[in-house]
Amino acid sequence: MVAAAVKARVEQVYREESRRILATLIRLLGDFDLAEEALHEAFFVAVERWQQDGVPDNPRTWLVSTGRFKAIDVLRRRARFNASRPLLLAQLEALEQADWSDEDVEDDRLRLIFTCCHPALAADAQVPLTLREVCDLTTEEIARAFLSAPATIAQRIVRAKAKIRDAKIPYQVPSLAELPERLDSVLRVIYLVFNEGYSASIGAQLTREDLTREAIRLGRLLMELLPEPEVMGLLAMMLLHESRRVARTSPSGELILLDDQDRSLWNGEMIAEGCSLVERALSSRRFGPYCLQAAIAAVHAEAPSVDETDWEQIVGLYDVLLRAVPSPVVELNRAAAISKRDGPLAGLILVEAILARGDLLDYHLAHSARAEFCRQLGRVEQARAAYQRALELTQQEPERRFIEGRLKALE
């Protein structure tokens, strides 16, 4: 029983703290691969030592310290047999003399994000590297988010790590003067982390609260550094969407669409904070795509019911967003809003036009939207075919069960 309890505690700490521990180890070691090796060694030791000595008061500090000493052992072994011994000895000496405390740890993940988004790295590698190292998304999850092959994503990550090592890219938050030019990549990373948490690309659960919570925490840290309108907009959008998380699934984990959600379950504090941030951001007159998405979420959040939602305003905001960021996904969302305003036929015409261009053919939500419009119009065979295509494309279990339920109802 003791061994099982300790193992469960180690697994809990890994889920909650491993990325933060890794970020600190990367700062201390200056080497991604060595830090990952040290992280896993530390958790391996924890399983045995915590059974003997008990779980420490501060597991994160214990694991960072243990990982650091394990890395020192690795470097000592390498120094004995490596031709570049002077360099390894210098790295070893610096590591042994490194001074750190748990107080330094809190913003390590923000430092790591800015390192992964450094302009010296290829643009198409920055976000995948951050999602892998900062958020522990698998290569497959990242590839799905980017509609790319896992091997392509893995290659980008390996090259980016090598570039950081060889170019000695500093592990630090940039100065205030440098922040604006580095901001877009970081905002995009936090946005994608939140999206993966809000609607997991694969797996048994609809959401991953650990990722949405971490994205919001990083958004708050970033806003302390740079309270720009788009930072406010991103944080507002995340808070407003997260406010609905509890209502998006039934107690058994089944998907509940926005129309059917119990709005009394929505988090009023998050809605109030998010709406306040939206007002501040829009009043600056310097808003961009994140502010516009937050404004759309705010209109939804403030509506007492689906029928009382201001669909005219939402469509107008999507029109502005589409001009700012031309995107078939934005077009799809706009089509859904237009269907609420003008009826399912109007939405169907727009979605079929997107698919006819060859856009979103492998995006399950596009086929789900087409199926829903066809269902509402009584076009049963077309609805069935579209739902079937959506079912083939989705890898998330709650969405699969929802689509299967729709198909069964059509019978």
53-103 residue pLDDT tens: 888 988 988 998 898 888 888 877 776 665 555 555 555 555 555 555 555
Whether 350 is covered by a domain: the verdict is yes
What pTM does this model have?
A: 0.77
Whether 9 is covered by a domain: the verdict is yes
Whether 176 is covered by a domain: the verdict is no
Q: Which position has the higher pLDDT, 137 or 190?
A: 190
Whether 69 is covered by a domain: the verdict is yes
Half-sphere exposure (CA, 13 Å, Cβ side) for 16?
Answer: 8
* Domain residue limits at 342: 322-411
Closest CA to 117 of 184, 72, 166, 165: 184
Query: What DSSP assignment string belongs to 114-157?
Result: HHHT-TTS-HHHHHHHHHHHTT---HHHHHHHHT--HHHHHHHH
Domains in the chain, number: 2
In b/e form, how buried is each residue of 113-136, taking b as 16+ CB within 10 angstroms?
A: bbbbbbeebeeebbbbbbbbbbbb
Interatomic CA distance for residues 334 and 327, integer angstroms: 11
| Confidence bin at 211 (pLDDT 50/70/90) | confident
Rounded to a whole number of angstroms, the CA Rg of the chain reads: 24
Mean pLDDT (the chain) is: 88
Domain CATH for 371: 1.25.40.10
Share above pLDDT 90 across residues of the chain, in percent, rounded to a whole number? 52
222-245 pLDDT, tens per residue? Answer: 888 788 899 999 999 999 999 999
Give the end of a domain, one of 66, 84, 106: 106
In this model, does residue 205 exceed pLDDT 60?
yes
> What is the CA angle 338-343-344, rounded to 5?
90
Q: Which residues contact 31 (CB under 8 A, 6 or more apart)?
A: 165
pLDDT computed for residue 76 by the predictor: 77
Whether 303 is covered by a domain: the verdict is no
322-367 pLDDT, tens per residue? Answer: 999 999 999 999 999 999 999 999 999 999 999 999 999 999 999 9
Interatomic CA distance for residues 65 and 48, integer angstroms: 16
pLDDT computed for residue 39 by the predictor: 93
Tokens representing 400 are: 């699969």
Give the end of a domain, one of 106, 123, 141: 106
Whether 29 is covered by a domain: the verdict is yes
Q: Which of 28-32, 43-47, 193-197, 198-202 has the highest mean pLDDT?
A: 43-47
pLDDT computed for residue 370 by the predictor: 98
Whether 152 is covered by a domain: the verdict is no
Whether 154 is covered by a domain: the verdict is no
Give the end of a domain, one of 106, 132, 157: 106
